[in-house]
Amino acid sequence: MLCAQHALNSLLQGHYFTAPDLSAIAHSLDALEHTYDEDTRGGTSTNMDDTGFFSVQVLENALQVWGLSLVRWRSEAMRPYQDHPHTQLAFILNQSQHWYTLRRFGRVSPNPSLDADPGDGHWFNLNSSLPAPERIGSYIWACSCTKPKPKGTPSLP
């Protein structure tokens, strides 16, 4: 599977993370969790599984190396941007235990203010299950982010 590895590398646009890198992060998180809950010692990992799936905590810790963080889309911190998702640089999404990245390319303002960045550029779905990156329109993307989600629809972290 290794979709988390692909989602992170697609976000960063390079081969920065390997499966062993993410496994090491998962093991360190498991060890930390075991110090708080003795009942989980020796049990199965809650941060990775045999299919190559990694938890959101693994992705968050991996991005810290780059000074980046995952911010939940529906969080208070993102509320000012929820009517303007097209002004963001990227999203990592999870649908049915599959991680993938939606990323904007093109002209981007270094100022995250809504007034400074009109959201120009082109959005691409960099899903590893697709044969190639898929261009998506910012209007369609904005509409899909702001309306309520039917069951089974991908949700933003």
Q: Is 9 a residue of the active site?
A: no
pLDDT in the model for residue 114? 59
pLDDT, residue 24, reads: 96
Q: Measured between alpha carbons, how far is 31 from 44 in angstroms, rounded to an integer? A: 11
Strands of the 90-94 sheet, one edge to the other: 90-94, 99-105, 122-125, 134-136
Alpha-carbon gap, residue 67 to 70, rounded angstroms: 11
Is 3 part of the annotated catalytic residue set?
yes
**Per-residue confidence (pLDDT) for residue 34, from 0 to 100:** 83
Question: Which residues lie across from 135 on neighbouring strands?
Answer: 124
- List of the chain residues with pLDDT < 70: 1, 40-42, 109-119, 138-157
pLDDT tens-digit map of 33-62: 888 877 766 678 889 998 889 999 999 999
> Which of 132, 124, 126 is closest to 7 using CA atoms?
126
Q: Catalytic one among 111, 127, 143, 145?
A: 127
What pLDDT is attached to residue 153? 41
- The single residue of 47, 98, 111, 143 carrying the catalytic annotation is 98
List the beta bridge partners of residue 48: 54
Report the b/e string of 94-114 with b at 16+ CB within 10 A: beeebbbbbbbeeeeeeeeee
Q: Which amino acid is at 31?
A: A
Domains, the chain, in order of start with CATH, read 3-64 (no CATH), 76-146 (3.90.70.40)
Residue 48 DSSP class: B
Per-residue confidence (pLDDT) for residue 42, from 0 to 100: 65
